[in-house]
Amino acid sequence: MKYATVTISVFLVLAFSCLPVSADEYRQNELIVKFKPVPGSSHVMAAGKENRPVIIAVDNAREALSEMQGRDDVEYVEPNYVIEAEDIPDDWPYDAAEWSALELPDAWDILDRHGPGHRVVVAVIDSGVDAAHPDLQGILTSGYDFANNDEVPEDDAGHGTKVCGIIGALGGNGIGVAGVAWNIDVGIMPLKFMKNNDGKTTGSLSDAVGAIYHAVDNGADIINASWGFYSYSYSLSDAIQYARDHGVMFICSAGNKGQDNDTNDHYPSNYPHENVIAVAAMNSFGELASFSNYGIANVDIAAPGVGICTTDRNGGYSTWSSGTSFATPFVTSVAAMVRYLSPGLGVTDVRSILLGSVIAGEGLDFQNIASGGCVNAYQALLSEAQYDASAKTSAPGTGGTDDNAVVASGEGGGGGGCLIDSGRNSGNPLGLVIIFSLTVLFRMPFMRRSG
């Protein structure tokens, strides 16, 4: 159950400078601004050119923010926050596991018996990809590098390549590893917004938002967002709602601080939009990993997140990646399997199938997340097969009414058993920006369909 945000406008200025904000948490010479539509511009909206936020250059972000917040032509203005992929160290002290609770072999059997299905395009909005990796050949589509403004999203950090491998590394080719969705027609669209920055994998909020719009406009069915941050962003909320309105799932990591997201901000996982699925990391003992964020209201499902084997930069492999970043593509992969068989399902349909088919009990302990269980590929495909025919033919953009915007945050990581190919195959939230209205949050239940 999510909570709706009820906003009461009182036109009050909050002092941005009174909250502790580190200089490296947002770009000092840029702001994200959404201007109000000008009179007579309705023909632009009718042509499908939505009024999107823009980046403006400023001399001092803190001062410019204060100056712009009172302008009549501004809908909202916010800092261009820095987003970081929060990886867990490779020597995390857990044994690798087979992750039998996911029932992947049985799911693969269903897919094999079904035969060819609908091609599914997954946009991996991350640090790019090693396009020459032998285990990723033939599955990568045209991408884009928003961090460097070119068409070659080459991965200089490794994070994005790891995520791509968990989703779709080639199976049955006698080398390396196999991705979870290795035996369906999946296309991975690598969209780079993060890059290696003195050993950290970071990117800007504006580039992440631009990548979301690009993914939707260029045919993505699902967006994988293995990152987050801890400050509210209107522009990120707008972009995710745009994805929802176009029938695109948005699957994201819950965060790696071991916190309760119901009482602490973390975004995009805490947005109430019905295309959002927030993923926690589980260990090989059927428990939430000690680093994983949780929350009955704001974290939806668990997936393998400790000791993952996957593809890495320079044609190599990572044998021990951990974090909610790498749990997320497990859920993305199962969502891709469902859409492969039933492309007409809407975002709420897919969400209901995934959360309603989780495995709980039997030694698994996930009482502090919404679904109460971990993702199960086999049960999800059985649920898809039994789903009402009318649901399959519903408009893919349907998703119910979404409530007001929420915020953003950042993480990375890895998780899950090593699918070796054997031939089968920051904790302090950023200070709130000066906003135009005093936002009063009433904790009202926002029920997200769970099956």
Task: Tell me if residue 118 is catalytic.
Answer: no
Interhelix angle 377-386/347-356, rounded to 10 degrees, is: 130
Catalytic residue among 127, 269, 325, 371: 325
Question: Residue 389: its pLDDT value, please?
Answer: 53
AA identity, residue 314:
N
Of 21-30, 72-81, 269-278, the poorest mean pLDDT is in: 21-30
Task: Look at residue 373 and tell me whether its pLDDT is greater than 80.
Answer: yes
User: What are the backbone dihedrals phi and psi of residue 47, each rounded to the nearest 5 degrees, phi first?
Assistant: -80, 5
pLDDT at 376 over 70: yes
Average pLDDT, the chain: 79
pLDDT bucket at 284, cuts 50 / 70 / 90: confident
What's the whole-model pTM score? 0.79
Spatial contact of 356 and 451, defined as CB atoms under 8 Å apart: yes
> Residue 95 CB: number of other CB atoms within 10 A?
9
Domains and CATH numbers, the chain: 85-408 (3.40.50.200)
Active site residue 126: yes
End-to-end CA distance of the chain: 13
Q: How confident is the model at residue 95 (pLDDT cuts 50, 70, 90)?
A: very low
pLDDT at 446 over 50: no
Site of tokens 């190599």: 316
Catalytic residue among 130, 133, 159, 214: 159
Asked if residues 52 and 34 have their Cβ atoms less than 8 Å apart, the reply is yes
pLDDT band at 425 (very low <50, low <70, confident <90, very high): very low
Per-residue pLDDT at 438 exceeds 60: no
> How much of the chain, in percent, has pLDDT values that exceed 90?
55
CA of residue 240 relative to chain centroid, distance: 10
Split at pLDDT 50, 70, 90, the class of 26 is: confident
Q: At what angle do helices 377-386 and 104-114 cross, to 10 degrees?
A: 40
What pLDDT is attached to residue 115? 84
Percent of the chain with pLDDT over 70: 75
Residue of 87, 126, 130, 155 marked active site = 126
Q: Is the pLDDT of residue 255 over 90?
A: yes
The pLDDT score that the predictor gives to residue 49 is 56
Mean pLDDT for the stretch of residues 15-40:
67
Cα-based distances in Å from 130 to 140, 165, 314, 317, 373: 10, 10, 7, 11, 33
pLDDT at 57: 87
CB 378 within 8 A of CB 106: yes
Q: What is the pLDDT of residue 430?
A: 31
Average pLDDT over every residue of 400-421: 34
Give the C-alpha separation, 392 to 119, whole Å.
16
What local confidence, expressed as pLDDT, does residue 86 receive?
Answer: 55
pLDDT score at 412: 42
What tens digit of pLDDT does each residue of 129-188 get?
999 999 999 999 999 999 999 999 999 999 999 999 999 999 888 888 889 999 999 999
- Statement: residue 60 has pLDDT above 50: yes
Asked if 95 is an active-site residue, the reply is no
